[in-house]
């Protein structure tokens, strides 16, 4: 029988388990706040394990507390950072998106029901073909140039004018 004023081995084990779990919780919370962008799934798993750990710490089952600590540490170790999109990739994507929009606008203008002169229509079609070729590449400056050329050609479209049909003049 243990004296009333000395903690039993059971109490010591429980206190150690709770202290270890508190430390694991603090580590997990700090990890989520470290400024890195983790994938949603791995971040959610850490949050789920944090909730479970915060529940387990309220109890008096040292084994459950140790299990919660292990699960939390495993989730923290499994945290994955989202792949970084380089600024170069973002600029290239922006150029591609802008060029796609310019191609779409030029095609819409050609199909707007107006009859354009063969010369200006041909220039736009040629610019569209060039833009579509450049779109497959990774050269941002070529995309910017193709977009500018296409917009210039589309802005230069001229509507064919109908030549007046000569009306015979009535003879006096």
pLDDT tens digits, one per residue of 95-137: 999 999 999 999 999 998 899 999 999 999 999 999 999 998 8
Q: What is the pLDDT of residues 68-94, one digit of tens each?
A: 999 999 999 999 988 876 677 888 889
pLDDT at 2: 47
With 50 as the cut, is the pLDDT of residue 143 above it? yes
Q: Give how far Cα 61 sits from Cα of 8, 10, 27, 71, 154, Å.
A: 14, 10, 22, 15, 75
The rounded mean pLDDT for the chain is: 89
The answer to whether the beta carbons of residues 144 and 159 sit under 8 Å apart is: no
Average pLDDT over residues 144-167: 86
Q: Give how far Cα 93 sits from Cα of 65, 82, 84, 136, Å.
A: 49, 18, 14, 12
pTM here? 0.48
Please tell me the distance from the alpha carbon of residue 73 to that of residue 24, in angstroms, as a whole number.
7
Strand ranges (E), the chain: none
Average pLDDT over residues 157-168: 76
Closest by CA to 52, choosing from 35, 69, 37, is: 69
Q: How many other C-beta atoms can be found within 10 angstroms of the C-beta atom of residue 6?
A: 9
Please tell me the distance from the alpha carbon of residue 28 to that of residue 1, in angstroms, as a whole number.
40
Quote the percentage of the chain above a pLDDT of 70: 90
């Amino acid at each position: 029988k243990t004296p009333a004023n000395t903690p039993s081995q059971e109490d010591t084990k429980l206190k150690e388990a709770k202290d270890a779990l508190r430390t694991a919780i603090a580590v997990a919370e700090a990890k989520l706040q470290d400024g890195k962008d983790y994938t949603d799934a791995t971040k959610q798993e850490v949050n789920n394990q944090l909730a479970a750990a915060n529940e387990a710490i309220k109890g008096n089952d040292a084994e459950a507390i140790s299990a919660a600590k292990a699960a939390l540490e495993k989730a923290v170790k499994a945290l994955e950072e989202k792949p970084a999109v380089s600024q170069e990739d973002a600029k290239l994507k922006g150029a591609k998106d802008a060029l796609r929009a310019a191609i779409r606008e030029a095609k819409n203008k050609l199909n707007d029901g107006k009859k354009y002169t063969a010369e200006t229509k041909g220039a736009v079609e040629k610019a569209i073909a060039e833009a579509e070729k450049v779109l497959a590449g990774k050269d941002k400056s070529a995309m910017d140039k193709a977009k500018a050329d296409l917009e210039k050609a589309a802005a230069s479209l001229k509507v064919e004018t109908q030549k007046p049909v000569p009306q015979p003049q009535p003879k006096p």
